[in-house]
Chain A
Amino acid sequence: MDNSTSKSTSEATNERGLRGKLKKVVLAYSGGLDTSVIVPWLRENYGCEVVCFTGDVGQGIKELEGLEEKAKASGACQLVVKDLKEEFVRDYIFPCLRAGTIYERKYLLGTSMARPVIAKNMFRDYGVIYSSNRLWWMLPKKLEPMPSLMDAQEKEMTRHVRFELTFFALDPKLNVVAPWREWDIRDPANEPKKDMYMLTVDPEDAPNEPEYLEIGIVSGLPVSINGKELSPASLLSELNQIGGRHGIGRVDMVENRLVGMKSRGVYETPGGTILFTAVQELESLTLDRETMQVKDSLALKYAELVYAGRWFDPLRESLDAFMKNITKTTTGSVTLKLYKGSVTVTSRTSPFSLYRQDISSFESGEIYDQADAAGFIRLYGLPMRVRAMLEKGI
């Protein structure tokens, strides 16, 4: 467990050179076993003071209760808890929602999105960052004295290499428990136990009556529930409640980790699942065919980047610029039916809908002329005919 006995040659680094040189470090702290153990280890091996930083990303009162005592009991000089919920939902979750990013078909990237917001805030406030695992990320050139609280700007973050976020994504023990929960259940042949779940009710115990929910969306982002406008975090929180009581959003998967191994995890993402469904349904009205194809293809890449901790990668940022632009007209409302673990759509409307009943209908119309079909097919199929002619030696 001690770094100093590691066999890896990469251990010959700056890291141990910093021992004794640091006065104070800031630790991303969750109160779990590892982060609690790191505190005394840091003090003993680096001779520094430890400030514990906890981002409130909606993990719940229970997770935050008693955290200060715990931190101090393990030797920290201070615990800072920062409410990051609105920033988290508005600047991280919503962009991913708008892009439709799903990792390996099922994972809505809860943990992956939480890391960057925490890291960014630690940088913003403190300028230096350390993880809770036995791995350290150090500044590339020189160790800065700690800037005072609040005087670092966003761009300061780039001074320090940004891939601490990548690092966070690699750290299986940085247990950010957000408005979803992540459980480790080792054997993919086993069904999760019923009592394991915490955010969602078992679908079998969910109400026998379906619940209808209307989600209002403006330019690809949700703004209201049943007509009531809510802030990003409040909206998500409300949907977690509603989704939770209907058993929505349970995902059980075996995923490929960045570091190469597969791991099995179960996720509960009630509100997120509702939102993803709503946004997609509205897009089916507002996006044309080519757009949807390209968007879906890019969404796969977007998910990979987020999963790999590359939030601040210009590639991710550029994909986001695309997503923001392409969803400008995805405005309207979607009604969903929640029932015993599933979400189904029952209505979609949009002032920017590209769906026209007069064209879609079976009868002829002015805009759609049946006779055009002959020409269309002949030309659309021309490459195939030419190929067939080649094969037949015609």
Chain B
Amino acid sequence: MARPVIAKEVFFCFHVLLFFSIRRWLTLQMKSELMLLLTDARGKEMIRQVRFELTFFALNPKLNVVAPWREWDITGREDAIEYAKKHNVPVPVTKKSIYSRDGNLWHLSHEGDILEDPANEPKKDMYMLTVDPEDAPNQPEYVEIGIVSGLPVSVNGKELSPASLVSELNQIGGRNGIGRIDMVENRLVGMKSRGVYETPGGTILFTAAGELESLTLDRETIQTKDSLALKYAELVYAGRWFDPLRESLDAFMEKITETTTGSVTLKLYKGSISVTSRKSPYSLYRQDISSFESGDIYDQADAAGFIRLYGLPMRVRAMLEKGL
């Protein structure tokens, strides 16, 4: 999700942006014919490039892309350092990290080193945003998330801006060891890669929104929404943020979650989240209907007719098979 927002900002701000690190640099020179320099296409990192480039394509199809990484002879970290020294470029003194990491407000990812073998458990000291669940507090922590039309607006009753809200939940989630994900994923470019993600605040928010939806969305809606969400994820993963398909799916999502307003209380404990309460003024859950006693709205006797008709296709099929 970070790539499109960076690409768009760069595009519209007409800045020359020089960003140098041992492993990656991005240069944008804004003129009438735009030249875009983008590097870091190693292996699976190409997806980063795809996400940037697709965004640029969508915004200006005439952009030329220059990607040194695809052309030069530098094959690794050591070569890069040597090249930098030869050209008197100061090499940033950073603590050598054996992992390749990418972080933003939403998550921190780790790849490389022992993680490259999916049979290996990650080392305890690799993690940075979250505490090890075994070291998390022995007392659970309750957190209340306020949601309006599908989007979170408050934490424990305090309204916060989007970024502050995520940041706050990263703190809360982090100290309880929430949001560690270890997976082998299929990259767009075809190979599998193993990565570990820390998404403390995001995990809390996904859980909260999902829980509230269980009150506000009916059955058909949840089924369709979940099915479309799979596609939405594929598009975002593939860098197709500005694709009209993604935008249309988003219009659907915005509309369908209009009434997903209310609050959810979650219990955080040593790496796991469980829901302890959900409330909504638009809840479709009615205790009087759900209850096992007969009521005015739900008449048990209707069930006979319902079953007969719901099962009619199956009965017809059985009759066919039996030659009836």
Contacts and interface: CB of A to CB of B under 8 A. Distances in A.
B298 to A, nearest CB: 6
A226 interface: no
A73 interface: no
B192 interface: yes
B189 A161 contact: no
B57 interface: yes
A196 interface: no
Contacts of B60: 388, 392
B219 interface: yes
Interface stretch (B153-161, B166-174, B313-321): B313-321
Contacts of B314: 161-163, 166, 310, 312-313
Contacts, number: 279
A188 B61 contact: no
Interface stretch (B1-9, B102-110, B252-260, B275-283): B275-283
A384 to B, nearest CB: 5
B303 interface: yes
Scoring A167, A187, A373 by chain B CB atoms within 10 A of each residue's CB, the highest score goes to A373
A300 B303 contact: no
Given A189-B279, A385-B61, A259 B303 contact: yes
Given A360-B43, A376-B189, A262 B300 contact: no
Nearest to A307: B219
A355 B289 contact: no
Contacts of A61: none
Interface string B266-295: 010111101111110001111101111000
A340 B271 contact: yes
A289 B185 CA distance: 8
B29 interface: no
Contact of B214 (A6, A140, A254): A254
A59 interface: no
Interface residues of B, number: 105
Scoring B240, B276, B307, B321 by chain A CB atoms within 10 A of each residue's CB, the highest score goes to B307
Contacts of A385: 57, 61
How many interface residues does chain A have, given as a range? 35 or more
Interface string B225-236: 011001000100
A143 B314 CA distance: 19
Contact of B182 (A162, A262, A345): A345
B314 to A, nearest CB: 5
Interface string A96-119: 000000001100000000000000
Contacts of A357: 116-117
B219 A314 contact: no
Contacts of B116: 357, 360-361
B76 interface: yes
B290 A359 contact: no
Contacts of A370: 41-43, 46, 69-70
A210 B136 CA distance: 14
A194 B234 CA distance: 40
A344 B180 contact: yes
A146 to B, nearest CB: 19
Contact of A285 (B184, B304, B306): B184
A283 to B, nearest CB: 9
B133 A364 contact: no
A170 B303 contact: yes
B280 to A, nearest CB: 9
B31 to A, nearest CB: 17
Nearest to B193: A360
Contacts of A256: 218-219, 222
B42 A347 contact: no
Contacts of B269: 203-204, 340-341
Interface stretch (B10-18, B48-56, B87-95): B48-56
A355 B194 contact: yes
A140 B318 CA distance: 10
Given A8-B302, A161-B314, A388-B60, A284 B184 contact: yes
Given A141-B324, A362-B42, A389-B61, 9 more contacts: A135-B303, A140-B324, A163-B315, A184-B292, A204-B138, A339-B134, A353-B118, A370-B41, A380-B50
20 contacts: A11-B301, A13-B304, A135-B304, A137-B307, A163-B314, A170-B306, A191-B267, A259-B306, A261-B285, A262-B214, A284-B118, A285-B184, A289-B187, A339-B270, A357-B116, A361-B43, A361-B116, A362-B100, A363-B42, A368-B43
Closest 6 CB pairs of A and B: A163-B311, A289-B186, A10-B305, A256-B219, A6-B301, A8-B301
